[in-house]
Chain A
Amino acid sequence: MPNIITLKNINKVYGTTIKTQVLNNINLSFEEGSFNSIIGASGSGKSTLLNIMGTLDNPTDGEVFIDSKRTDTMNKNELADLRNQTIGFIFQFHYLLPEFTCLENVLMPYQIQSSKLTKDHINRAEELLDLVGLSNVKNNLATNMSGGQQQRTAIARALMNNPKIVLADEPTGNLDSESTENIYQLMRDINKKFNTTFIIITHDKGIAEKADRIVEIIDGKVKMEMELGS
């Protein structure tokens, strides 16, 4: 399998007078269709790394390739387009749009690229909601759902445009263990079904170990990479 994401010599430094080096010469690649987890202590730089991979943040220096296109030199509109088409995000605090219903939230990534909403796309959104088990609450406003339901909505939304990559930052950070287990199972299923690449930051060792590969970050450096046979 070819690499879908490649990071070359990535450094991230915060501050101008007092400099904090948050990422230190990171070289990493992720294979298309793989299921990866990133672990590390709080403040070690995991989120920073993930945000750079998602083109939301810029590295201080180094090169980022997504789907073999170099992104750190793209302009903002090109990046917006790339994110919309290629990357699905699941954040720790799910970040649904509270003004919209569950179904509308799932449709949003599609509506961003095309304002013509077809029956096909509504069907796809409904299938995704079915997949995450939310058919019965699809017309609820985002604020009228439980935390786990909101997180599952965010997963369905991340998948709406059939992205090659899903980046998830502690997607189950504030859920109970049973919901956590369900959501991981769900992401695994999707990974198998659609060959979507998953890169997931987690604190949960048990969960991390279910991935194909674990990357551990310590003080802004890749400390350990472990391939796990599945």
Chain B
Amino acid sequence: MRLPFQIAVRFLKSSKGQTGLIVLGIAVGVSVQIFIGSLIQGLQDSIIYKTTGTSPQINISSTSDDKLLPNYNDIVDKISRLDRRIINLSVTSDGPVLLIKDTNNYSVLVRGMELEKSNKIYNIKNRMYEGKLPKNDYEAIIGKELQEELDAKIGDTLQIIKNSGEVSQLTITGFFNLNVAALNKTWVITTLQTSQKLFSTGDKVTGIEMQVTELFKADEIANRVSSKIPSDLKVENWKAQNEELLSGLNGQSVSSIMIQIFVLIAVALAIASVLAIAVLQKSKQIGILKAMGIIDRTASLILLFQGLLLGIMGSILGVLLGLLLSYIFSKFALTPDGQPIVPLKIEYGFIALSALIALASSTVAAVIPARRSSKLNPIEVIRNA
């Protein structure tokens, strides 16, 4: 094993230019692979985070006529002990109202929340650009688009008409921006008590919301929750609500894998052709070595080692190049506010896998040249000086 290895090293060293080129070729392949993989994964993660990160991933509502959940404390208690993957459990009391300003009315949704708990889901505090959270009864905050529509200022009073026809007033204490115009336009966020008083629902709520630590297990967790609570309650999860998004992401993953496979094939072909040329270039040497007594297996090992060594050097350089590329991308491809356009997801397992696949394909690519080297008859070389 040592002799064919030594000879392989010598052969590679003796044609440094050629060795360098093919190593670079493998490295570019590996780095493209790592970069594209991290980019797509990062992209998908950020899309999923944007759609689900700051909203409930599982929510429970009632199918009864009044849409109310009695005894919600028992249910919340049960759920909180059901599964450790469930986090940020909170309740809401929501109801539609008409908002009146001058001659215009806007239909909006009053959302009564346990603000400290719900904040963990919606991150409202950080997304308020003016004012503060409602604390006292009949205080509320509204979204950016609604503020612009109403031309509202902190301290202004909102006139609202409930379904019953009753009129109430809410005082504006701040403005939020959830980055979704539809929500900014229609949500009026207030405390749980205010909402319960407004709609005279007493100690009942309209919804239970939660997030999970394993995002892609949300459907499974939702099923567990569903089996443990009364059957007139409806349990929904983000995956069921975003099927189209998920199938879109799936398509993206498949195309990314396709790209990676083609890159891999190109790399393997490049190695195979370079090694095929190497057999031709070194056939004189292999012939003379055979005349001196190396056996065919050793002759093929020389080529296999060449493939392996090229693969190792190419993979290492490729990983470095891929990380460098990713670093440059995340440092220089920025949005106007200094955030990376796409936050890359660097997974070491994926990088190791890419390197390993490149390594394996370089060795496999060396098999055909190795067989040619094994079959080479020394007499051909010696006769055709």
Contacts and interface: CB of A to CB of B under 8 A. Distances in A.
Contacts of B285: 97-99
B385 A112 contact: no
Contacts of B14: 98-99
Contacts of A108: 289, 292
A31 interface: no
B29 to A, nearest CB: 27
A47 B289 contact: no
Contacts of B284: 95
Contacts of A54: 291
A92 to B, nearest CB: 6
Given A76-B295, A77-B295, A109-B292, A99 B11 contact: yes
A84 interface: yes
B383 A47 contact: yes
Is the interface on chain B under 10, 10 to 19, 20 to 34, or 35 or more residues?
20 to 34
Given A80-B294, A92-B385, A99-B14, A112 B378 contact: no
Interface string B1-33: 111001100110110000000000000000000
Contact of B379 (A56, A92, A100): A56
Interface residues of A, number: 29
A93 interface: yes
Contacts of A95: 284, 288, 291, 382
A51 B379 CA distance: 8
A177 interface: no
A221 interface: no
A113 interface: yes
8 contacts: A51-B379, A76-B295, A80-B294, A91-B385, A95-B288, A95-B291, A98-B14, A112-B289
Given A51-B379, A80-B295, A99-B7, 19 more contacts: A51-B383, A56-B291, A56-B379, A77-B296, A80-B293, A81-B293, A91-B382, A95-B284, A95-B382, A98-B14, A99-B10, A108-B292, A109-B293, A111-B3, A112-B289, A112-B292, A112-B293, A112-B298, A115-B2
Top 10 nearest A-B pairs (CB, nearest first) are: A84-B293, A115-B2, A99-B14, A99-B10, A95-B288, A93-B385, A83-B293, A80-B293, A80-B295, A56-B379
Interface of A: 47, 51, 54, 56-57, 76-77, 80-85, 89, 91-93, 95, 97-100, 108-109, 111-113, 115, 157
